[in-house]
Structure 1
């Protein structure tokens, strides 16, 4: 069993160094801000009603990058002036008073000013180029996790919930919105108006929002009494219809699922040109990147549409789970984000059942497996002390692993029982703050299952188990051990961690559930496994563990692949993929599993997307002179599927079939199939000149092949579409595709483009990531990143530094890997230390695969 320390929750607040005193709590903020877009500055005033729990002569709150010019306290109508002390390191404002405030109510008045920064955090400036030319500015907020303090002095910790009354003084020709609906408007007589917004419900500072700029709104859509609008820059209204449809569906879906009406007065979903995250769940004023809100369904791919659906659903799920009920401290952010990621999938599955959203969820889980198998993984929940600690939680483990663990729990408890537990939790804690255990308590109360004991083993220790299945005299024996690509530095210092693993086994005798909470367990099988009735561990394919079968069981599973559910076939291939990266299986074994998937006539998009990733593993494992053999195998592998799909869209095709056709065309083209290259070239040219005639999926697949083989003319055409594409999705699609070009001179031009302001800071790290993943030019890309390190980082949003080097995970050259690791060791990024260490370790895993396999791959390929 794990030691007590391994599964015990960490302290709720950790060390209070840097934390605010709990004895004074805000109850209400009255804020007035006056942004000046021409000078990129703002002025503000705040009146904060305080509950003083015990006598004090000092008030302490958060402030950063603000000039606080006045601070005084109104105590029973008497003014008490305070002395202002700003601590830049702790990001705190201390107001020293000449007398002691008694317990009770007092009001703190503050006057301050600040700069609309260009780092996409706090109160910042975004710009766009108007149709008639010239840049236009927008003032927008992004406060999570700890940046409200950059817009106004405040108690910037999630537990300090308060009501917010917001007033904005803005130029009369600008649109201004905030969390609540507009209540009143006053002409100030100087070309500005003062707009007062309705009070919010009690909420945390990180959810406050205001947006000011030359923008437009759609007409409101009534969603059972809740007005829903899309806010956008002028000329983009025709791209808002899909988001309105999704938003209306999501609001109704969540109100029904949670059993609680939407907790705000209205929903504005705001598309801004520059945004560091994908979106942000500010109550009633949800802010998005344009690519994740504004879309043309006719020209977008299914993946691009799904991204819009997912992000809208994710943010609106937060209106209840996160906004109405909020974690007490940032150690609990995983639950907010993991649950919203899980709920986005449920909502999307209901919105477009044909999109098979839970299959796509398997793809997200694969990404979490790859991070959680590292020695540098971390527990889902861990103590958070500093703002940098909080920022470090917004990663794959919080979102994807967390949501996969929640999905596993839901499937084990049953969907109805799980939902009832969620309703109980929200109703008990609405308008309040919680710890992770409060949710487990609600689920235990409804189901009677030991949820806390099970989930603590998944939440408070990093990693996940490999469940090994074997046949012996006792029947089916299951064992668990940690699945790791590399051993942690402290390996061998104690017992391996263990999990309470909810295993679902299907065999000829039916389905059986067992919690594997020790090192091993046995099940009696009614019959010997065969191709027609294999033993499937992780039946349904929903769990967060990998499975390794003994030879007899593995043979039965592979022989019976065609009879498994698609998500189960996905899990079989995913396990083979992970075991190959770990070194338990050879690249040829992984290729053989992909071949078996093809041979059973697989047509599921998600399975083939995983197969494409496995093909890349095999390709990167091969030596340079073996790669033609790998490509020849890929062409043979895909030929039957390509013939079955055909070159052109059939009117009966569903969206996932269309996406599969595009995927196959791109893969075949990249691996040198002459027919696919000819087809891709023709589609690419047609898309340039007659885009409405080209199926979006086919066009995306053609772009993948055409980009790799691009000449100067084609490269110029791609950059033109990046600059002038009709939709936000089209622009970034071409930007990232151009990074894959094989020609060295063109790749140099691409890197030169990244040095210019043409590439928005929000997209810059992703463009460098794509460049580093180019197998022909990874060294060239790394040199550009290394030489421009400080300059590039200065341009990036605050949360994007780790994305800049994420592409190193594809490097296979040991010498280059050494150089990269040495550089990153001497150029630390404090807010992304763990994330960058994980990128380096994943790079080392890739290098190790190549060193093990190179020279042996070609002879091991199916049909080779």
Structure 2
């Protein structure tokens, strides 16, 4: 009973406070206390109705007092604090007067009867209660079907600011501490956490408490645990690290690929960084739903099922590729993010940019035949995606000041991930691989278990450059131009006097009016090039010509230019910039592609297409040049240029979707794809299979009869197989088969396919089926489909986002989706508003095709009605700017494009 009297005890409410909070208005915690260690015990109440899922928690935080204060600030959100006690560790109680929650800053503020003394350690003990929801944040549940039975996996997602939903804590990345975690569970369930289980203790009511070993010093956002009816496969790396891959018990065989790749990439990164992974184990668990695709918790990586499970004969090659790079991404985080953590979220890119670059390096090393470094250019987390995201005034720098959680959530975007990776790849180029790699090792070693900023990285790289005799490279000066400034340059190359090229830079913006009126920005640019006289695309740091951060051009004399018909700047698109030429040089490059495209590196073939189309959209080259880059594609056999080409044709299709010229585009696409479609259907390599998926989808969508006939045949056999015994559909042809079949049939067929979606236990198969369901041509079926996306028992939350974006690609559903989203904005905002990329992706995906004044007005009226768009704010602004750009593009280029299409089709 003594315990009750010692505590200042309140149950299910918070003590009121009358204190002047103006003494500290920042959203950052004051550093009067520094956390040293957390003892955390979680007791879930998960054995009744899911509406009643909750947990009791107890945390004991050891802190070091740095400043005399009689107030304690911690983070807490959505928790009910029952009891709070402060001690000095020797049973002396520090009197607690009251405590209060400040919702705006998500602070728990504790008022004490006396001040804490600097230099002394204290213990903050809190009993509290929280809810377990399926909001995919903090401690949450996600469900799956085991036969007719609904089951649950309970897991955590703390990043970036949701550890405070699980325990009162110092929830900032630099405030690292060690953790001891205890999970109280029923005996039929299994629990996991960052560390191995130290011991299991019997508790009352047939419960067991799993006590886990002490973690290394780490940030709160990396704390993790999971609980459920789960099973695992196991292996060990060459350095004897235990790797286990977990999932719901009926899917554990689908984790074999993740286990194999996890072991290989762990070994690769240990060798690459020259730093051994320090934990004794790495668990990876697939959960039914995840707000990210994955999360890099130290020692317990969580994944969405779609991001980790691979089922032979069901999962497509595209999904296998996605799983591979995602696994490599999360394992590389064990060093970048976990061992060394950004001091604050403004340097988020130190986590995500590095992990994105390293995921391509890692998979390229362990599966070299996939050629992942070539695919970096055209991947949706790669360079060209970053350029497209970074070409407007509404973008932001790589390093960006952020304060409150909404701002933090908003920067988990392509700038932090893809642009961060692209500028690191460029730094590797101008430093050289040896200097770059050694510099990274020095950075990780010197900052281990610490929180760092980008300046520590520049310091490590600069020191290594000095060691290796490259004192002329000012790393900080160069890299600050790339991470502290938004946008990027276009480098214009002009031939002068036959043997000299003039190279100059300007700020690139896709909006022609903005580009002409915007303030100039300049970068330190490592420029390289190659010529037709000596077409060498394997350039190194010794081939660099520096274009400095000023308005002055450079002149490069090169006698090989005398005998050259063309030159290509930025070999292998190593630099984060676009390249423009005089029109006659563009024509020479296009002629070379038509004569023998293989003379030009596969990456640069993709670069030429992507640069030409974006330069044309910005008014820097003629549309004839952009269109001309596509004419050679009938001879192209490589995936990378085809991806670049199909991306531009996809955007062209969206632009022309509601115009008379769309029919001409369909005929052009059929002619372009007829022969390549036949070839890709028999391919067997990784790239062949991905090409099969992309080409067949484009071919069937354009109405190519050979594609549609084959797809409908397969669909009919699959549909008639009511026993599902089962008619096999080529994994990489599924999107086309499902879409072709559903688009030609009515509601009965739609209902059968939807039923199979509901029964499928494969995440990748469910997404393929959702894509197919979006292809219906019946508006009333689309309307019913839209309503289903609001019901998580019908369509999983994260899959509902995909479904809405898929429907928006359908001309019949184009405006229906926007009207539905606007009408149900509160539902989706409440579900995903703090969900990082979900709302931005939804806004972008649903408005991607908009190019009319009516659609622009709809968007503007929506913005006027919703003052707070949360993480979707930047995406909304981007959408508004993009629609205006699309309107101008159509007005300026429609006649030119229509005429070119008619000429290509022989109609002129």
TM-score scaled to structure 2, two decimals?
A: 0.89
| Distance change >3 Å, CA 233–CA 644, structure 1 → 2 | closer
For 2:584, which of 552, 573, 589 is the aligned residue?
552
CA contact (8 A) 1:708 1:741 kept: yes
Report what 1:752 is aligned to.
787
For 2:164, which of 135, 144, 149 is the aligned residue?
149
> Matched residues in 1 for 2:287 and 2:486: separation?
36
CA contact (8 A) 1:228 1:244 kept: yes
> Matched residues in 2 for 1:587 and 1:513: separation?
31
Output one character per residue of 1:736-772: Cα deviation in whole Å (capped at 9) or x when no partner.
Answer: 3322333333323322332333111122222212222
The question of 1:407 aligning with 2:425 is answered yes
CA contact (8 A) 2:655 2:849 kept: no
SS at match of 1:595: coil
Report what 2:614 is aligned to.
578
Report what 1:806 is aligned to.
844
**Cα drift, residue 166 of structure 1:** 0.4
For residues 120-159 of structure 1, the aligned pairs below 5 Å read 120-131=136-147, 133-159=148-174
The question of 1:823 aligning with 2:862 is answered yes
The question of 1:233 aligning with 2:248 is answered yes
For residues 299-338 of structure 1, the aligned pairs below 5 Å read 299-338=314-353
For 1:739, which of 752, 768, 774 is the aligned residue?
774
CA contact (8 A) 2:753 2:773 kept: yes
CA contact (8 A) 1:766 1:803 kept: no
For 2:202, which of 184, 187, 206 is the aligned residue?
187
**Cα drift, residue 280 of structure 1:** 0.5
Report what 1:21 is aligned to.
30
For 1:778, which of 811, 814, 823 is the aligned residue?
814
For 1:432, which of 428, 450, 454 is the aligned residue?
450
For 2:628, which of 592, 604, 614 is the aligned residue?
592
CA contact (8 A) 2:509 2:515 kept: no
Report what 2:556 is aligned to.
523
SS at match of 2:559: coil
**Cα drift, residue 710 of structure 1:** 4.7
Report what 1:80 is aligned to.
94
| Distance change >3 Å, CA 555–CA 613, structure 1 → 2 | same
| Distance change >3 Å, CA 489–CA 571, structure 1 → 2 | closer
Report what 1:442 is aligned to.
460
SS at match of 1:779: helix
The question of 1:847 aligning with 2:887 is answered yes
**Cα drift, residue 810 of structure 1:** 1.6
For 1:625, which of 660, 685, 703 is the aligned residue?
660
| Distance change >3 Å, CA 241–CA 490, structure 1 → 2 | closer
**Cα drift, residue 481 of structure 1:** 0.8
CA contact (8 A) 1:143 1:206 kept: yes
For residues 171-182 of structure 1, the aligned pairs below 5 Å read 171-182=186-197
Alignment: residue pair count: 841
TM-score scaled to structure 1, two decimals?
A: 0.93
**Cα drift, residue 145 of structure 1:** 0.6
> Matched residues in 1 for 2:349 and 2:505: separation?
25
RMSD of Structure 2 on Structure 1 (CA) = 2.2
> Matched residues in 1 for 2:621 and 2:35: separation?
58
**Higher mean C-alpha deviation, range 303-312 or range 360-369:** 360-369
Report what 1:11 is aligned to.
none
> Matched residues in 1 for 2:730 and 2:168: separation?
52
Output one character per residue of 1:212-265: Cα deviation in whole Å (capped at 9) or x when no partner.
Answer: 222222245455221111121121011010110111111101111111111222
**Higher mean C-alpha deviation, range 411-420 or range 562-571:** 411-420
For residues 176-575 of structure 1, the aligned pairs below 5 Å read 176-221=191-236, 224-363=239-378, 364-447=382-465, 448=470, 449-473=473-497, 475-486=500-511, 492=517, 495-507=519-531, 508=533, 512-517=543-548, 518-519=550-551, 520-528=553-561, 534-561=566-593, 562=597, 563-575=599-611
For 1:668, which of 699, 704, 708 is the aligned residue?
699
SS at match of 1:527: helix
SS at match of 2:250: coil
**Cα drift, residue 303 of structure 1:** 1.2
Which structure 1 segments of 5+ residues have no match? 1-14
SS at match of 1:225: coil
CA contact (8 A) 1:158 1:328 kept: yes
> Matched residues in 2 for 1:120 and 1:182: separation?
25
Report what 1:859 is aligned to.
899
CA contact (8 A) 2:738 2:773 kept: no
| Distance change >3 Å, CA 475–CA 329, structure 1 → 2 | same
> Matched residues in 1 for 2:193 and 2:774: separation?
38
CA contact (8 A) 1:29 1:48 kept: yes
**Higher mean C-alpha deviation, range 748-757 or range 632-641:** 748-757
> Matched residues in 1 for 2:204 and 2:559: separation?
86
> Matched residues in 2 for 1:52 and 1:796: separation?
38
> Matched residues in 2 for 1:371 and 1:575: separation?
14
| Distance change >3 Å, CA 224–CA 657, structure 1 → 2 | same
> Matched residues in 2 for 1:795 and 1:432: separation?
34
Report what 1:715 is aligned to.
750
> Matched residues in 2 for 1:386 and 1:288: separation?
26
CA contact (8 A) 1:503 1:514 kept: yes
CA contact (8 A) 1:686 1:694 kept: no
SS at match of 1:594: coil
> Matched residues in 1 for 2:280 and 2:348: separation?
25
**Cα drift, residue 300 of structure 1:** 1.8
Output one character per residue of 1:336-390: Cα deviation in whole Å (capped at 9) or x when no partner.
Answer: 1010000000011112222221232111222211111111011111111111111
| Distance change >3 Å, CA 718–CA 609, structure 1 → 2 | farther
**Cα drift, residue 294 of structure 1:** 1.1
| Distance change >3 Å, CA 184–CA 722, structure 1 → 2 | same
> Matched residues in 1 for 2:832 and 2:570: separation?
42
RCO comparison, higher one (Cα < 8 Å, 6+): 1
CA contact (8 A) 2:58 2:125 kept: yes
> Matched residues in 1 for 2:459 and 2:374: separation?
30
CA contact (8 A) 2:44 2:55 kept: yes
CA contact (8 A) 1:375 1:488 kept: no
For residues 99-138 of structure 1, the aligned pairs below 5 Å read 99-103=114-118, 104-131=120-147, 133-138=148-153
CA contact (8 A) 1:621 1:854 kept: no
CA contact (8 A) 1:309 1:348 kept: yes
Output one character per residue of 1:710-737: Cα deviation in whole Å (capped at 9) or x when no partner.
Answer: 5445433432332223521001121133
> Matched residues in 2 for 1:36 and 1:830: separation?
32
| Distance change >3 Å, CA 489–CA 51, structure 1 → 2 | farther
> Matched residues in 1 for 2:25 and 2:763: separation?
44
**Cα drift, residue 52 of structure 1:** 0.8
> Matched residues in 2 for 1:421 and 1:28: separation?
32
CA contact (8 A) 2:33 2:67 kept: yes
Which structure 2 segments of 5+ residues have no match? 1-23
**Cα drift, residue 137 of structure 1:** 2.8
**Cα drift, residue 139 of structure 1:** 2.4
